[in-house]
Amino acid sequence: MPAVSGLGHVGIHVNDLMAQRDFYSRVMGLKIADEDLENRGMVFFSADPESEHHEFVIVKGRTAPEDTILINQISFKVDTLAELKEFYDVFRAEKVRIDRTVSHGNAFGMYARDPEGNTIEVYYKTGFPVPQPYAEPVDFDLAEEELLASAKALIPA
């Protein structure tokens, strides 16, 4: 039986193409790989366009009412805990709605909302083999060493 080798990219419909374009490029730091703003109303984003043309696409034309929940979450990983903490500071400075910051043991995550209310997660993988599901609130103002020690303590004996 055939099997997929991984997730290639995700595309979502948006109401305000330019506001979402600004958020995902300026605030989230994704690079715009290509776009057609006038005709098709599409923006292709990539964390690394040289290795993957796009991982995320926004397209104008969302037709659901504003309060309709369409997406559970869109998750973006970072390479270091320091970067996750930087996003925490950036989100606070940009007045991005942060719903929660958690330790999953095997990762630290921050759940927030993009300009149209879609849930996004920015997360850092700790590499600790903590059984899932697990989620406890965590304070990203704590030192990295303290955060990592708390996650490491969750590894089953």
* Torsion angle, alpha carbons of 82, 43, 94, 79, to 10: 0
**Is the model's pLDDT at 3 over the cut of 90?**
no
* Size (the chain), residues: 157
Kindly state the percentage of the chain with pLDDT values over 90: 88
Amino acid at 39: N
Mean per-residue pLDDT, 101-129: 96
pLDDT single digits (tens) 128-137:
999 999 999 9
**Are 20 and 61 within 8 A, CB to CB?**
no
Give the per-residue pLDDT at 6. 82
Q: What is the pTM of this model?
A: 0.91
Gap between the Cα atoms of 127 and 138, Å rounded: 17
Beta bridge partners of 125: 107
**Is the model's pLDDT at 118 over the cut of 80?**
yes
Rounded mean pLDDT of the chain?
95
